[in-house]
Structure 1
Amino acid sequence: MPCVPDVGSLAPEGFMSMKGKDRAALRAEAHHLNVQVHIGHAGLTPALLTSLNDVLRTHELVKVQVAKAGDLTAKDAARDAAERTRAEVIQVIGRTFTLYRENPDLKRGELPPWRG
């Protein structure tokens, strides 16, 4: 079984860490998502962060993949991206991580349990 880092310790300072049940629900929802943002060898550039912010605003839950070519690890990229976008790290597996940031402006008929 692969070793998955404790993502609760990846939450930026000043953020309330999610409950395990809420994080598990988000992980289950993210399982079926395709990667929407790719971090290349240049790392977290201002243009990439703008793009990531846009995707977080429209989708709330985003899967991000880090390129093999760069020196950046997924854990470091997740921590840095979460801090700079005010999002929460949900999961880090291999070179892929998942971020979540609630958007209160999104209208939904039935709210998921973590938004209630």
Structure 2
Amino acid sequence: MLTSKNRSYLKGLANNIEAITYIGKEGITDGFLKQLDEALEAREIVKVSIQKNSILDTKKAANEIAKLTGSEFVQAIGRKFVLYRKSKNNPKIDLPN
């Protein structure tokens, strides 16, 4: 569970990254989840963009995806959201206490 201090720190990190995964009209697919899982393991923090042709609600989709991937929802702005999950093999982000 992220504290408000952790969440604030991660929001600052997310400011400088581009979305690397996208959700299209197909919605949340197994392929998307696999790609996102690999990205979370490699980067720990990932920004996801929901395409305009998708009918998904950003916050609902973000919370559902966080549950499915075992990650933490950090923030949602517009049609983008940020997820965080500490890497099992190669942790890079040191969260503040």
TM range (shorter): over 0.9
The alignment's TM-score, normalised by the length of structure 1, stands at 0.78
Alignment match, 1:48: 32
Q: Which structure: larger Rg?
A: 1
Equivalent residue pairs, number: 97
Structure 2 counterpart of 1:27: 11
Q: What stretches of structure 1 of length at least 5 have no aligned partner?
A: 1-15
Secondary structure at the residue paired with 1:113? coil
Choose between structure 1 and 2 for higher RCO, CA contacts under 8 A separated by at least 6 residues: 2
**Structure 2 stretches of 5 or more lacking a match?**
none
**For residues 33-89 of structure 1, what are the alpha-carbon distances to aligned partners after superposition, in whole Å with 9 as ceiling and x for unaligned?**
011100001000000000000000100000000011121011111011101000000
Which stretches of structure 1, 4 residues or longer, exceed 3 Å deviation after superposition?
none
Opposite residue 113 of structure 1, the aligned amino acid is L
Coordinate RMSD, CA, aligned: 1.4
Partner of 2:94: 112
In structure 2, C-alpha distance between the alignment counterparts of 1:19 and 1:107, rounded to whole Å: 18
SS at match of 1:102: coil
Secondary structure, aligned partner of 2:67: helix
Tell me which residue corresponds to 2:46: 62
- Corresponding residue number in structure 2 for 1:12: none
Alignment identity in percent?
Answer: 33
Opposite residue 41 of structure 1, the aligned amino acid is K
TM-score by length of 2: 0.92
Provide the rounded CA distance (Å) in 2 between the counterparts of 1:113 and 1:82.
18
